[in-house]
Amino acid sequence: GGLHWAQDRNWRQNRLAAGVGQELALGRAEAFVLAYDAAWSHPGVLRFDDVEAGQEDHYGSYGLRQGGTSRRVLAGATWELHRDHFRGSVMAYAAGRWLHLIQTWTGYFEDPTHSDGTGQAHQAFTAGFRTEAHQLFEWWEDYSLGSAGVEFRTDLFQQYNESIQPNGQVISLDDRIEGRQ
């Protein structure tokens, strides 16, 4: 007997970063987007005698393919105005995150009925708007700065953890949480 860590590893990754800026008659406008997408698998745990007997491939796992996916995106736009002693800006942004993991450490041979496989997921969304203004005042040969602004932001998220069998079937939802702010 004994344990054997399989080498089942695979991954892909894509990234995007783009932005644009333009001087306008009334200031400067800029916009950007950042994105990330990845997927991977990682090794399973196998019994030595199953690998030696050829019942399981050296790179395999018992039923459940382990790994995950991760995706993120962030986008925003800004407009700024600069005139003499005045500066103003408006910014809007949005971001999303998604993460999903599947894992099992001892797998099927430890508990053929339930295994110790887990699936976990996290999803989040953030969006916001911000505006601010700054005015420089000259009083008796001295300067003072007046500032004002408003910001609004919302955050939504949910995550869960579930027990799964080696074939990927969900046994139970163990934890779930979600929130709004």
Question: pLDDT, tens digit, for every residue of 102-122?
Answer: 876 665 555 555 566 788 999
Q: What CA–CA distances, in Å, run from 39 to 14, 42, 67, 119?
A: 9, 10, 7, 15
CB 72 within 8 A of CB 122: no
Taking the whole predicted model, whether its pTM rises above 0.85 is answered as no
Q: What is the pLDDT of residue 44?
A: 65
The mean of the pLDDT values for the chain is: 84
* Tens digit of each residue's pLDDT (9 = 90 or more) over 79-101: 999 888 889 999 999 999 999 98
Q: Tell me which amino acid residue 96 is.
A: G
Q: What is the pLDDT of residue 4?
A: 46
Q: Which residues of the chain have pLDDT under 70?
A: 1-9, 43-45, 58-65, 104-116, 166-167
Task: Look at the block and give the residue holding tokens 């993991």.
Answer: 101
